[in-house]
Structure 1
Amino acid sequence: MTKRNQNDSSNIIPFPGLEKRLLEKGLESLQGKKFSDAIQLFEDAKELDPESSDIHIGLVLAYFEAGALKKAKNLTKSMLQEGIGDYFEIVDLYLMIMVQLHEYGEIAATIEALLQEREIPKDKLEHFAKMLHFSRRMAEGSPDPAAEEQLREEYRDKELNLLSYQDPKEQVLLLAKLANINIRPYLEELKSYLISEEGHPFLKTMIINILKEQEYDKPVTVKKLGMNEEFIPSALHDVHDHKQLRAIEAAVKDKLEHEDPVLLENIIALLQRQFFLLYPFKLQPDQPDLWAAAYHLVGCSFYGMDGDPGDMAGQYGVVEDTLEASRIFIGKIEEISYPNI
């Protein structure tokens, strides 16, 4: 293995799909209410993939939650102009932001143009008509507090019901909202998702973490990545603080800290991403050296570097056949590590 420059960070070659990784980390930060971090991550991802509707939506929501409503509005408006994302989904976001800004004249003008220029889906007509009537009244100086609260409630209900849909874009919207509400009225829906075959591991981790943060102390069953177990969310370790993860990181660090810190940094990033998806499960068998060798091997393959399984097994003192099975499992996780949006 060739040693690379250890001090020049410009030599760092990102793993394939860095923009997807940044989107995942942005969603994690958004769900954890680290809005400044989320904004930076989404903006970095947008630089790499300027046409991704999911990155744009994430950034809009991060601006919105951080209170940067004007930025959220401007970005949403540019999405509509550039045709990024589902048109009516983005229109709904745009209107929601303007409701918060009390820009009722612009809301009315937007809906009027929409009704003239576009064929509105039947399920949207009543909603837009109601908004238009309300916005005109507000713009004319005839406030109706009860109607305004009803409109806000309608948006809140819409956001909370996204879990019942299979569209991943709607699930992305949900991620930004679940942490900010009392989830107990929605427990049955959330529990059903945790055991559903079609539920994505990423979103399941988010739900479990929210249950933990809200100190839910009853058993819930979780199915993901071929595993099935019962957990008490309030008793779980933090999503980013797993003993097995730390042990694997230490084993890889012991081999690469001085030899190849760039490779080490990226292997640790891969580990953290996959453990987020695994949460609250752990890798089996519970042998940190085995998994350290497997992640080391996978990291080498990502870089197009030589990584001989027999040599790697010898370095870490593990059985080569078991190492190969672990490498295959890591590959399977990596294939599903990002929602197919």
Structure 2
Amino acid sequence: MKGSDIIFPTIVEMFLKDGIKILGEEEEYVVQKFLEQAYVEQPCNEAVVYALIKLYNAKQAFEDAREVGQAFLMMDGYNKEILGELSATFLSLNEMDTYFSLVKQHLDKESQLDDLETSGVEEASNVIPFPKKIKPRRSIANFLEWGTAEQLEFLQQARFHDVEPYLEPFAAFLEDATTSPFVKSMIFELLQEKKVDAAFLVKKVGMEEQVNPSKIPLLTSDPFIEELIESLTRRWEHKNPSFLEQLLVIVQQHLFIMYPFRFPSEHIDLWSEAYSKWLSQMYGEIWRDNAEINHEELMEATQFIERMEQVQQNYLL
């Protein structure tokens, strides 16, 4: 750990283990003040930086999370756990290109250290060969065992190459229920982009199904998703714009986390009601259910949202 060692209070440890939902309003205030003060005193302490970014992400304060994360990376190097938590930050800000650049810098630095340890000084050359194929630092057959930062950087490069040689390790990753749901979504988007016409067993967020990338709509052009976003926008854009902004960020995060899976039903009014109710109650507001929405279906939809949020808050890349 860089910086002085620090012992977190029990309430901070509880937040790191179980997420922000276990905190009351006063407890959340205490956790934030403690972490922000600790950050002022130890801005290069990896545990403090990670915890503060995680808190800001949970509070939807993504610009603050980005500022803390980038400051740490510029001042003190790289940390895989911090990079992992920042992935949720940059995804929410729609700045994944910047995130991939940070990951690439991290991997380049690791590679340079490896080169210093394993090779001597070579003659300088003015010729920089253009790589025609991806040359991962480890065998692609062991993709399942790579760190998430290396997996994401590889997937970004793979967009410019034939993915046929990588289908077998990708398939093994997709069918392992313990691997990162975020990386699985990135893999599936790549398979769609490459128009791969084959069935893959996908296990993630408690769901399991054989899915063919060429047979389902792209996440960015799914008519159901477009309708849901339009419904939420009509409902809240004039009544409470800031609430709508947070709501859309949460919905988009959940959609990406579960991708290529979909909501259990495609009842637009149901999901509009469920997400609106869930976030309102998170703020402690009293909610009156729409009498036109089936009560049992609304409860099931709300429970599904809570499950996706739990995955979003707790998974480590």
Q: Give the equivalent residue in structure 1 for 2:252.
A: 272
Mapped to 2, the partners of 1:56 and 1:191 lie a distance apart of: 25
Residues 139-150 of structure 1 mapped to structure 2, 5 A cutoff: 139=124
Q: Give the equivalent residue in structure 2 for 1:185.
A: 165
Q: Give the equivalent residue in structure 2 for 1:62.
A: 101
Mapped to 2, the partners of 1:60 and 1:195 lie a distance apart of: 26
- TM-score under structure 2 normalisation? 0.63
Q: Give the equivalent residue in structure 1 for 2:285.
A: 306
- Offset at 1:204? 1.1
Give the % identical residues: 21
- Any gaps of 5 or more consecutive residues in structure 1? 1-15, 23-40, 66-71, 77-88, 97-106, 112-127
Q: Give the equivalent residue in structure 1 for 2:310.
A: 335
Residues 236 and 249 of structure 1, relative CA distance in 2, 3 Å threshold: same
Residues 195 and 266 of structure 1, relative CA distance in 2, 3 Å threshold: same
Residues 305 and 331 of structure 1, relative CA distance in 2, 3 Å threshold: same
Mapped to 1, the partners of 2:207 and 2:122 lie a distance apart of: 55
Mapped to 2, the partners of 1:253 and 1:60 lie a distance apart of: 28
Mapped to 2, the partners of 1:21 and 1:168 lie a distance apart of: 24
- Offset at 1:218? 1.8
- TM-score under structure 1 normalisation? 0.59
Q: Do the aligned residues in 2 keep the contact of 1:225 with 1:278 (CA within 8 Å)?
A: yes
Mapped to 2, the partners of 1:161 and 1:192 lie a distance apart of: 10
Q: Do the aligned residues in 2 keep the contact of 1:221 with 1:230 (CA within 8 Å)?
A: yes
Q: Do the aligned residues in 1 keep the contact of 2:232 with 2:244 (CA within 8 Å)?
A: yes
1:163 equivalent among 110, 125, 143: 143
Residues 61 and 184 of structure 1, relative CA distance in 2, 3 Å threshold: same
Q: Give the equivalent residue in structure 2 for 1:82.
A: none
Mapped to 2, the partners of 1:60 and 1:256 lie a distance apart of: 30
1:247 equivalent among 227, 243, 258: 227
Mapped to 2, the partners of 1:170 and 1:237 lie a distance apart of: 28
Stretch moving more, 171-180 or 330-339: 171-180
Residues 183 and 264 of structure 1, relative CA distance in 2, 3 Å threshold: same
Give the aligned residue type for 2:298. L
1:263 equivalent among 243, 250, 269: 243
Give the aligned residue type for 2:110. D
Q: Does 1:92 align with 2:110?
A: yes
Q: Give the equivalent residue in structure 1 for 2:300.
A: 325
2:67 equivalent among 36, 47, 55: 47
Q: Do the aligned residues in 2 keep the contact of 1:19 with 1:48 (CA within 8 Å)?
A: no
Please give the root-mean-square deviation of Cα atoms over the aligned residues, in Å: 3.7
Give the aligned residue type for 2:136. R
- Offset at 1:252? 2.0
Q: CA offsets per residue over residues 58-99 of structure 1, 9 Å max, x none?
A: 75841687xxxxxx4xxx6xxxxxxxxxxxx77424458xxx
- Offset at 1:160? 4.2
Q: Do the aligned residues in 1 keep the contact of 2:103 with 2:149 (CA within 8 Å)?
A: no
Q: Give the equivalent residue in structure 2 for 1:231.
A: 211
Mapped to 1, the partners of 2:208 and 2:154 lie a distance apart of: 24
SS in structure 1 at match of 2:202: strand
Mapped to 2, the partners of 1:236 and 1:18 lie a distance apart of: 34
Residues 170 and 157 of structure 1, relative CA distance in 2, 3 Å threshold: closer
- Offset at 1:321? 2.8
Give the aligned residue type for 1:138. E
Aligned length: 243
Q: Give the equivalent residue in structure 2 for 1:5.
A: none
Q: Larger Rg: 1 or 2?
A: 1
SS in structure 1 at match of 2:67: helix
Q: Give the equivalent residue in structure 2 for 1:26.
A: none
Give the aligned residue type for 1:47. E
- Offset at 1:228? 2.3
Mapped to 1, the partners of 2:147 and 2:204 lie a distance apart of: 19
Mapped to 1, the partners of 2:266 and 2:145 lie a distance apart of: 36
